[in-house]
């Protein structure tokens, strides 16, 4: 992958009318990242805090991520900000971005709870789960000290989130990357200012307070990897152990870091990447077939299969029958193929595949 990360951003309208922005990057098996505090699909691509995460997670997977309602490029003013609604949003993003087949889930921080809730409801869809810095219990469900600490932060956010000075926001943001550089902390402060309002920020934090999915942990049936920084100031490592102990057969990796969001220059990041690669199957990023043009590198495995059948002259209905999927799914995949290849018609796609050495 070259220095520029290429993504495709789309919108969906949730069942309650809210508009959610979601993006996809890369090609391969689907990896869906649940929403977490805080995100902005475009601004993160410039980020000294998140850019290496996005690059790594999309190096061999088709990474799907979205901005949580109330923040980023999604609607800020929405009918509801609650954990139940966030889980439903995850369901609706997955239905739009990956309607068929198995997928993997990635959850950091509060996103871990969303992944657990989704996997418990839809075990047939989830091939594996990766959780980092996550928790099953929100801060008001742990102990009195945690509740007092976060309630104080909520009060600070109400007073100072919208101010030009960063000092008040930094009381909160510095906990995410305490070992980060000044440039990284400044960027995170600016992310917070850009991605939500002083009115909504406390609501988002309060919405996490009473999350509790501990009773769902034993319903998780797929392989699960739980990673957690030893000195995480946002989510205590004890909460990571609750996840690992509750999910049958989960693998636990303790990382030597103070950062909730691991940074690229620390040894813990290398260990994180190695553990995730091994969990997902190891090996190098998939190579292109010999002699095949790079134009086809962005196609998923499903899209490659459909393009191969398209070049055989099969109609949408015949492709749907061959792959036992719906006509609508075939149309959606073909639209995505055209978008990625920069063509407008089936004939153009067939000619491009023939002339550029596509091997199906």
DSSP output for 150-217: HHHHHHHHHHHTTSS-SHHHHHHHTTT-TTS-HHHHHHHHHHHHHHS-TTHHHHHHHHTTT-B-GGGG
pLDDT of the residue at 286: 46
Average pLDDT over residues 111-133: 97
pLDDT of the residue at 137: 95
pLDDT at position 197 over 70: yes
Length of the chain measured in residues: 360
Do residues 78 and 199 touch, judged by C-beta distance below 8 A?
Answer: no
Average pLDDT over residues 261-273: 94
Question: What residue ranges do the domains of the chain occupy?
Answer: 8-137+212-280, 298-354
State pTM to two decimals.
Answer: 0.76
Burial of 205 (0-12, 13-18, 19+ CB in 10 A): buried
Query: Higher confidence at residue 324 or residue 11?
Result: 11
Q: What is the pLDDT of residues 212-245, one digit of tens each?
A: 999 999 999 999 999 999 999 899 999 999 999 9
pLDDT of the residue at 139: 85
Helix axis angle, 346-355 to 327-341, nearest 10°: 60
pLDDT at position 282 over 70: no
Band of pLDDT at residue 323, cut at 50, 70 and 90: confident
Tokens of 173: 């943001």
pLDDT at position 118 over 90: yes
Band of pLDDT at residue 294, cut at 50, 70 and 90: low
Strongest mean pLDDT among 72-81, 101-110, 315-324: 101-110
pLDDT of the residue at 297: 78
pLDDT of the residue at 143: 79
Q: What is the pLDDT of residues 27-71, one digit of tens each?
A: 889 999 999 988 999 999 988 999 999 999 998 899 999 999 999
Nearest to 286 by CA among 27, 2, 25: 27
- The three-class DSSP label of residue 45 is helix
Q: Which CATH class is domain 298-354?
A: mainly alpha
Lowest-pLDDT choice from 64-78, 247-261, 335-349: 335-349
Cα 117 to its chain centre, rounded Å, is 15
Half-sphere exposure at residue 162, Cβ-oriented, CA atoms within 13 angstroms: 9
Averaged confidence pLDDT in the chain:
88
DSSP symbol at 62: E
Q: What is the pLDDT of residues 129-184, one digit of tens each?
A: 999 999 999 988 887 777 787 788 777 777 767 666 666 667 777 889 998 888 88
CATH number of 8-137+212-280, picked from 3.10.20.30, 3.40.630.10, 1.10.10.10, 3.40.50.1820: 3.40.50.1820
């Amino acid at each position: 992958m070259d220095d520029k990360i290429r993504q495709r951003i789309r919108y969906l309208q949730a069942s309650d009318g809210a508009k959610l922005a979601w993006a996809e990057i890369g090609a391969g098996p689907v990896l869906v990242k649940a929403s977490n505090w805080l995100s902005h699909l475009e601004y993160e691509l410039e980020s000294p805090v998140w850019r290496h995460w996005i690059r790594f997670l999309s190096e061999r997977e088709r990474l799907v991520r979205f901005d949580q309602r109330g923040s980023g490029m999604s609607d800020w003013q929405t009918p509801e900000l609650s954990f139940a609604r966030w889980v439903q949003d995850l369901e609706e993003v997955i239905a739009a971005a990956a309607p068929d087949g198995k997928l993997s889930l990635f959850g950091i921080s509060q996103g871990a709870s969303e992944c657990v809730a989704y996997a418990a409801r839809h075990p047939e869809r989830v091939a594996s789960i990766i959780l980092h810095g996550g928790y099953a219990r929100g801060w008001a469900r742990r102990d009195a000290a945690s509740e007092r600490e976060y309630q104080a932060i909520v009060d600070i956010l109400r007073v100072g989130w919208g101010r030009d000075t960063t000092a008040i926001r930094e009381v909160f943001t510095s906990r995410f990357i305490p070992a980060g550089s000044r440039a990284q902390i400044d960027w995170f402060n600016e992310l917070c200012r850009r991605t939500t309002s002083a009115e909504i920020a406390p609501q988002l934090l309060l919405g996490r307070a009473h999350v509790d999915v501990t009773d769902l942990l034993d319903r998780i049936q797929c392989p699960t990897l739980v990673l957690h920084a030893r000195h995480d100031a946002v989510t205590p490592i004890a909460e990571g152990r609750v996840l690992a102990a509750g999910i049958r057969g989960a693998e636990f990796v303790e990382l030597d870091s103070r950062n909730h969001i691991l940074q690229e220059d620390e040894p813990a990041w290398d260990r994180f990447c190695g553990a995730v690669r091994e969990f997902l199957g190891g090996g190098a990023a998939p190579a292109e077939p010999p002699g095949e043009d790079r134009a086809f590198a962005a196609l998923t495995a499903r899209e490659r299969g459909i393009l191969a059948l398209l070049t055989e002259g099969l109609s949408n209905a015949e492709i749907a029958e061959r792959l036992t999927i719906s006509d609508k799914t075939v149309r959606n995949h073909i639209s995505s193929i055209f978008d990625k290849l920069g063509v407008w018609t089936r004939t153009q796609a067939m000619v491009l595949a023939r002339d550029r050495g596509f091997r199906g």
